[in-house]
Amino acid sequence: MRLGGMLKNSTLDYPGLVSAVIFTQGCNFTCPYCHNPHLVSFFGTPLTEEAVLFFLRKRRPFLDGVVISGGEPTIQPDLAEFCKQLQSLGYQVKLDTNGSDPEVVRNLIERKLINYLALDLKSDPGNYPLEIAPSRGEAILTTIALLKRAAIPYEFRTTCAAPFVNRETIERIAQAARGSASLFLQPCHLERDLLDSVFMHTQPRLSIAEIEEFCLVAGSYLPTVVRR
């Protein structure tokens, strides 16, 4: 596994569990508002898998879950084996993914190697903008369909970043997610280091009132829509 960092303790990242968060290195998307630009490209590995597993073995009495986030974890060839090792230590495993590889997700679910999944929906799921990911629409829709049939808890979430998210795209996201339990809408923080440093100066920030309105729009299709 190419690991770029770890948060040793979190009560926010795995619903209901105290967890560690592991950040994998490398991503196949290029979201201009990405807050983890240091994780998008590959570079020297600052954290070894052995060191992470050693830490998690010691901390098992104090942690219940491990979140595998990124970067994009599904591009790691040994992800399934890593999940298996985490579960063998007694951890519940949550995967955060952009949904670009439904086959990897399907394999992890079928082999019961993950216990929870969060899928980031970046824009209209059938038509992602080129700035984010060219030609991924079918893959995202397939991952959504797969999750709707899955026997594990999952959530959809969207970072409300203009111009990729607006009233119309929220409606399409909610329509695609219809039949699921929950969608979380979160603001885009433009003040941090972003993958595209120009983006922070050229894009307007969507207001809380606009995001609340998006919640109402999506609420016509889904039972639970929450602003984070």
Contacts to ligand SF4 by CB under 6 A:
27, 29-31, 34, 36, 39-40, 70-72, 98, 195
Distance from the Cα of residue 10 to its chain's centroid: 16
- Cβ proximity to ligand SF4: between 75 and 183 the closer is 75
State the minimum distance, in angstroms, from the CB of residue 90 to ligand SF4.
28
- Cβ proximity to ligand SF4: between 63 and 183 the closer is 183
Residue 65 in tokens: 């879950």
CB neighbours of 81 closer than 8 A, spacing ≥ 6? none
DSSP 93-112: EEEEE-S--HHHHHHHHHTT
State the minimum distance, in angstroms, from the CB of residue 99 to ligand SF4.
9
State the minimum distance, in angstroms, from the CB of residue 195 to ligand SF4.
6
- Cβ proximity to ligand SF4: between 41 and 220 the closer is 41
State the minimum distance, in angstroms, from the CB of residue 39 to ligand SF4.
6
Contact 225, 183 (CB under 8 A): yes
- CA pair distance 99, 55, nearest whole angstrom: 29
- Cβ proximity to ligand SF4: between 196 and 213 the closer is 196
State the minimum distance, in angstroms, from the CB of residue 4 to ligand SF4.
10
Query: What length is written for the chain?
Result: 228
- Cβ proximity to ligand SF4: between 96 and 221 the closer is 96
DSSP type of residue 47: B
